[in-house]
């Protein structure tokens, strides 16, 4: 007799702004009206770059999971391609929450958001704007653009200026964007050029993916000024920060400073790099901790007032 699958996966296309986002909805088998966690990825990444692995584990634990790809990337809509707009990506999060709330078969009153890397920064911003949510998870989150730019180095930042200028001119002319690599080798022109950046991206790109290692350069000024960590203090419900002790992209010291301002924040640190979080033992540690956290929040009654901050925990 065939073993029943622990979950089913459904292809979804939901409207956002002037286009649409492609997503997967994972529904746990045999669970009536399960809670749901919405997953968004990092800088230029698509949902098939290991968001499915996290979503599968959540579904096996009885939590529905909704993993989506931002507009302008992968198999989602939006023109021009490879355009990273913080405003549009945050609107995609809002649209995903709206879709989940009205979808039958899941509990629209028990929703959490989960973001990794740049998506982790978005998760902080989104959580601060949606008090009706039950919980949030920010994994190796991008919390401060200036801190990340300083980690990249002033020389690398100066190298990007001519490409930014060309792309802004292309925007005015209505021509194809001027691109900059998302990840590159040390010393190369890229948004991330730490030693582990390019191999880290390559390790999570599946065969036949729609992922492109480039983005329209016009995003750089907005990246430097985006500081989602500042919104942590506005989040009244529980949020889990999963922080890499050796993060080369999102400096951990700054992330921890912001995380400690969250009224009901929980912090877990890991001796694994920014790009190690998606595979192997670090992935197992993270997903186990996240399932425990989400299950605890979904099973508890919503708080009417925010108690004191939970002490940080160290792994």
Model pLDDT for residues 286-296, shown as the tens digit of each residue: 999 999 999 99
Report whether pLDDT(120) > 90: yes
Q: What is the pLDDT of residue 187?
A: 86
In the predicted model, what is the mean pLDDT of the chain?
Answer: 92
The full set of domains in the chain, from first to last, is: 7-149+227-314 (3.40.50.1820)
Report whether pLDDT(251) > 70: yes
Q: Tokens representing 48?
A: 């098939």
Q: What is the pLDDT of residue 65?
A: 98
Q: What is the pLDDT of residue 1?
A: 57
Average pLDDT over residues 26-34: 97
Task: Indicate the pTM of the whole model.
Answer: 0.93
Higher local confidence (pLDDT), 314 or 217: 217
Burial class (CB in 10 A: 0-12, 13-18, 19+), 302: exposed
**Percentage of the chain exceeding pLDDT 90:** 83
Query: What are the tens digits of pLDDT across the range 161-184?
Result: 899 999 999 999 999 999 999 999
Higher local confidence (pLDDT), 3 or 59: 59
């Amino acid at each position: 007799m065939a073993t029943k699958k622990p979950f089913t996966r459904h292809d979804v296309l939901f409207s956002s702004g002037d286009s649409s986002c492609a997503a997967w909805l994972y529904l746990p088998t045999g669970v009536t009206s399960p809670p749901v966690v919405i997953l968004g990825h990092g800088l230029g990444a698509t949902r098939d770059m290991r968001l499915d692995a996290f979503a599968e584990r959540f579904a096996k634990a009885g939590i529905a999971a909704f993993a989506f790809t931002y507009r302008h990337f992968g198999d989602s809509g939006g023109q021009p391609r490879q355009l990273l707009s913080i405003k549009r990506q945050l609107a995609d999060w809002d649209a995903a929450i709206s879709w989940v709330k009205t979808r039958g078969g899941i509990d629209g009153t028990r929703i959490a958001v989960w973001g990794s890397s740049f998506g982790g920064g978005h998760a902080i911003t989104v959580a601060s704007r949606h008090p009706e949510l039950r919980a949030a998870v920010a994994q190796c989150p991008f919390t401060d653009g200036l801190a990340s730019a300083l980690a990249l180095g002033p020389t690398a930042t100066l190298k990007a200026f001519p490409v930014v200028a060309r792309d802004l001119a292309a925007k005015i002319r209505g021509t194809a964007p001027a691109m900059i690599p998302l990840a590159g080798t040390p010393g190369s022109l890229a948004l991330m050029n730490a030693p582990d950046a390019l191999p880290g991206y390559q390790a999570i790109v599946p065969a036949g993916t729609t992922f492109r290692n480039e983005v329209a350069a016009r995003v750089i000024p907005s990246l430097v000024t985006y500081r989602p960590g500042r919104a942590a203090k506005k989040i009244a419900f529980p949020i889990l920060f999963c922080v890499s002790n050796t993060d080369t992209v999102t400096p951990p010291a700054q992330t921890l400073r912001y995380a400690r301002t969250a009224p009901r924040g929980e912090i877990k640190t890991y001796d694994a790099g920014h790009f190690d979080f998606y595979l192997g033992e670090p992935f197992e540690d993270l997903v186990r901790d996240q399932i425990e956290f989400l299950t605890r929040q979904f099973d508890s009654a919503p708080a009417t007032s925010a108690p004191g901050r939970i002490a940080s925990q160290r792994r």
